[in-house]
Amino acid sequence: MDLGAAYERFVDLQSYVGLSADERRLIVAAGEFVAPHIAALIDDFYEEIQRHEPTQRVVTGGAVQIARLKQTLRDWLAQLVTGPYSEEYLEQRRRVGLKHVQIGLPQIYTHAALARLRNGILRILCDNWTGEHSALVDTVQAVNKVLDLDLAIIGDAYESERLSRLQRAERERSDAVFQDLVEAAGCMIVILRARGEIAYCNSFAEQLTGYTAGEMMNCDFAELLFAETDREALRSVLRQVLSGEYVRGFQDELVCRDGTRRAMLWNVRRLDTYEVEPVVLAVGQDITNLKQAQHKALQAERLATIGQMSAGLAHESRNALQRIQASAEMLEFEVEDNPAAMRLVRSIQNAEDHMHRLFDEVRGYAAAITLDRSFCRVADVCHEAWDLLRTQRQGREAELRASPACADARLLLDRFRMTQVFRNLLENSLSAGEGPVAIDLECKRESSLPPPVRRGRDAIERRGWVISVRDNGPGMTAEQRQRAFEPFFTTKPKGTGLGMSIAQRIVEAHGGQIEIAASSAEGTEILIRLPCDET
């Protein structure tokens, strides 16, 4: 309660106990009798304190503190018998109650101490009174009313402060328990203010997003961690929750500090007891791995269907394609003197070759991958793929440069399938480059392969190699980098668009990752991360 409201109540309490203006004058007159004996009252008060252990224990400052306390009591008694009973008077009494809580003095000793002062003041009045007895009775009654009010003010301040401290202590204990729980949780927990600023986040949130708690604190949750297209949906959820709804199963993507995205499943509710204003508790479960597993399961099912369909198509179309091929070859003899017709025949043959290749690649893309692993040097596998592209390199200036570390990178690989991967990457580099083609193969160790394997809250370190294939071609556009691994996406006039998808499946079957590095000044760089299974 603020001082103004407390004083209004004090005035009301004076009326409640019937303290009149005449009684105030009687108290002031009694001050003339009490004043000469105040020093003795004070000395008696503190001598008694020194005889009792609970009260003696709170006076730890020696003679200096005793002298200061005596002066405070002298001012208090002077106010008591002179008035006026103003806000300053009230505030001094309240400070006594607050101080007793601070020093740990039990309230019962406050009552006893005031009773000793009361008895001392009344004894002085009775021993030194010279007026009529009825006036003494009225004066004693008035003094008792003021002392009772003083005791009520001190007790109220004491109890209010004690309860406030108990509530703060309980709040601190609750906060400590809450923090222990949320810090042990294997999910992201944030508390948001009504306007969407982050008021709290747990350590899992730091691990997941890459931001420290200090960096996230007081930032707009939607602006910091979500794509622009998702922010309004999130803010709509916050408005729902603040209106009293409990939102379960809200899904969106979190944008981490490094630009990676994590699929999240949120449960969001309002908390009414955390601060003065309502806040929002958001608990987010990282379901990225689950979504990826579901996607892979769905993809596997689709691939199986594509495989069956392509096998059937290939079987049914083989005879027709063979007849087309045979007819085209016979037609060559018939029109060999007609250049225009020969161009059309060549076009038919190219189309037939393309159909054969398409069926073969679709069948290869859809087929289940079973690895036959052995220890291979990355440089050997890459040079084997380079040799297979001899025909494509004929008549062109092209060079493959492997760093010395690639001869040291000895991994447990399916040699045939990884040769497929490198052949596809090298062939793309040859196709992209118009002038002399330079391809650099580099290998380096990496202490942890992203994304890290997670067990509970902890990331498990995986040692491995990062293999870089970088060319000097024109590079890729942002759309091409984004769609490079989509089935049937291609920029080649004769491509099927399955090569990079097949490469991705093979690398992931080895427990690794393949990605296109961020755009550089020149060329395209493909990064392959593979776990280290060296002997």
At 354-371, the pLDDT tens digits run: 677 666 666 666 667 788
- Topology of the domain covering 373-531: Heat Shock Protein 90 (3.30.565)
The pLDDT, as a whole number, for residue 231 is 93
Alpha-carbon span 202 to 213, nearest angstrom: 8
Alpha-carbon span 383 to 76, nearest angstrom: 98
Cβ atoms 78, 91 nearer than 8 A:
no
Mark 336-347 as b/e (b = at least 16 C-beta within 10 Å): eeeeeeeeebee
- Residue 331 CA neighbour count, 13 Å, CB half: 17
- Of 274, 268, 276, nearest to 244 by C-alpha is 268
The pLDDT, as a whole number, for residue 186 is 86
pLDDT-flagged residues of the chain (< 50):
449-460, 534-535
- Strand order across the beta sheet in which 513-516 lies: 398-402, 437-446, 464-471, 525-531, 513-516
Three-state DSSP at 410 gives strand
The pLDDT, as a whole number, for residue 535 is 43
Other C-beta atoms within 10 Å of 332: how many? 14
The two structure tokens encoding residue 384: 């084997």
Which homologous superfamily is 185-286 in?
PAS domain (3.30.450.20)
* Partner residues linked to 466 by β-bridges: 444, 529
DSSP codes, 149-194: HHHHHHHHHHHHHHHHHHHHHHHHHHHHHHHHHHHH-SSEEEEE-T
The pLDDT, as a whole number, for residue 458 is 46
Instruction: State which amino acid sits at residue 113.
Output: A
The pLDDT, as a whole number, for residue 450 is 47
- For residue 383, the Cα-to-chain-centroid distance in whole angstroms is 46
Alpha-carbon span 473 to 482, nearest angstrom: 18
- Topology of the domain covering 3-167: Globin-like (1.10.490)
pLDDT per residue over 439-489, tens digit each? 999 999 886 544 444 444 444 455 789 999 999 888 888 788 888 888 777
Write the burial class of residue 447 (CB in 10 Å: 0-12 exposed, 13-18 middle, 19+ buried).
exposed
The pLDDT, as a whole number, for residue 307 is 63
Alpha-carbon span 140 to 145, nearest angstrom: 9
The pLDDT, as a whole number, for residue 455 is 40
- Strand order across the beta sheet in which 279-286 lies: 198-201, 188-192, 279-286, 261-271, 247-255
Q: How far is CA 431 from CA 206, 209, 403, 476, in A?
A: 43, 39, 23, 13
Q: What ranges make up the beta strands (E) of 419-518?
A: 437-446, 453-455, 458-460, 464-471, 513-516
- Of 275, 202, 205, 283, nearest to 246 by C-alpha is 283
